[in-house]
Amino acid sequence: MRFLINKIVLGLSILAALIGLVFLFWILIDLTIKGVGAIDWHIFSNDLVNNGLRNLLIGQFMLALTAVVIGVPIGMIAGIYLQEYSYGSKYAEFIRNLSDVMMSAPSIVIGVFVYAIVVNPVGHANGWAGSIALAIMMIPIVVRTTDDMLGLVPKELREAGIALGAPKYKVIFDIIIKAAKVGITTGILLAFARIAGETAPLLFTSGNSQFFTMNMNQEFPSLTVAIYNLATMPDENLVKIAWAGAFILTVFVLLINLLGRYVIREKK
């Protein structure tokens, strides 16, 4: 009887795993079929106004990259505080938990918040607002990564630096961060992949532009926002563009993830 129950439960578990995997690969296969079918050279050389994706791809990349430039220093320095300067104080523990909670805050709420503090005063959607929203999403991830990765560096290495007469901030930048470099880089890559695929925080911050622009003070082209708009259009051609965009986005995000994993494996 016990053995029967064992077999049944294990069978159910395998079945559940199969169902899950079927769903997940189903999505990928559909996406690939639709996406590959929709990709041609035209979409890479034209902007949305001419039924291309060029401005959207570049725009999305710019938005995410600017978010990295804003979010990574803040997140890293905050992470350094938590690991190197707080000595396990209650306050640091509080910030650490708060940061984790913020990591799971609904992304649309962050979009709404940035709308209120940036878009509303300025009067129109703009690239900076989009990047700020993405940066806010990114900060807690970078904090967590930096905090965890610095924590893995043996404390003897810190002491050895201090024992040579180096100031603490020097030890942190010259030695500790270098020792944790691989982990932190991976974390930042994964965080970048995550925000690069975000839509909700961009809907009313960056908005979307049909045209090619590098001016972050204006409405800025966003691939994800465009996908959202195009996918529900009645025009077959526009839906096709949306699929192409979705496919490219997914490939990009997965490649960065794989790159992150590869970096970990190489350096271990």
Partner 1 sequence: MKNVMEIKDFYFTYPKAPKPTLKNINLNIEENKITALIGPSGCGKSTLLRSLNRIQDLYPGNKYDGEILLKINDKMENILEYKKENKLIELRQRVGMIFQKPTPFPMSIFDNVAYGLKFAGIKSKSEIEGRVEKALQGAALWSEVKDRLKESALGMSGGQQQRLCIARAIAVEPEVLLFDEPTSALDPISTAAIEELVVELKERVSIAIVTHNMQQASRISDYTAFMYLGDLVEFGETEQIFLNPKEKQTEDYITGRFG
Partner 2 sequence: MESVFKKLSLTSATLILLLLTSIFVVLFIYAKPAIDEFGLKFLTDPRWGVTVQVDTPKVDKQVATTEQVTDEMAQNDNLQTEDLLLDDSSDNSDSLLTDDEDGSTANTKEVYGGFVPIVGTVLSTILAMLFAVPIAMGIAVFLSEIAHPLLAKPVGVAIELLAAIPSIIYGMWGLFYFGPLVSKYVGGQSVSLLVAGLVLGVMIIPFMASLTRDSMNTTPAVLKESAYAMGATKFEVIKDVIFPYAKQGIIGSIILALGRALGETMAVAFVIGGVFTFPKVVTDPTVSIPVVLANSFAESSGMSMSALFYLAVVLFVLSFAVISFAKFYFLRNKNEIFNK
**Residue 174 interacting entry, from partner 2, partner 1, none, C-beta within 5 to 8 Å by type:** partner 1
Could you say whether residue 137 binds partner 1 (CB under 8 A)? no
Could you say whether residue 232 binds partner 2 (CB under 8 A)? yes
Could you say whether residue 96 binds partner 1 (CB under 8 A)? no
Beta carbon of residue 72, minimum distance to partner 2 (angstroms, whole number): 11
| DSSP states of 169-194 | HHHIIIIIHHHTHHHHHHHHHHHHHH
Residue among 230, 259, 250, 224 nearest 242 (CA): 230
How far is 3 from 200, CA to CA, in rounded Å?
49
Cβ proximity to partner 1, 9 vs 164, nearer residue = 164
Could you say whether residue 193 binds partner 2 (CB under 8 A)? yes
Cβ proximity to partner 1, 7 vs 267, nearer residue = 267
Q: Which tokens go with 172? A: 């942190």
Could you say whether residue 253 binds partner 1 (CB under 8 A)? no
Cβ proximity to partner 1, 96 vs 158, nearer residue = 158
Could you say whether residue 2 binds partner 2 (CB under 8 A)? yes
Beta carbon of residue 183, minimum distance to partner 1 (angstroms, whole number): 12
Cβ proximity to partner 1, 158 vs 194, nearer residue = 158
Cβ proximity to partner 2, 116 vs 214, nearer residue = 116
Residue list 128-157, contact with partner 2 (CB under 8 A): 136, 139-140, 143, 151
Q: Which of 210, 250, 259, 264 binds partner 2 (CB under 8 A)?
A: 250
Q: With contact defined as beta carbons under 8 Å apart, do 7 and 170 qualify?
A: no
> Using CB under 8 A, which of the segments 30-38, 47-55, 62-70, 214-222 binds partner 2?
30-38
Could you say whether residue 60 binds partner 2 (CB under 8 A)? no
Beta carbon of residue 33, minimum distance to partner 2 (angstroms, whole number): 10
User: Would you give the end-to-end CA distance of the chain in angstroms?
Assistant: 46
**Residue 179 interacting entry, from partner 2, partner 1, none, C-beta within 5 to 8 Å by type:** partner 1
Q: Which of 17, 167, 217, 261 binds partner 1 (CB under 8 A)?
A: 167
Point out which residues bind partner 1 (CB under 8 A): 87, 154, 156-168, 170, 174-175, 178-179, 181
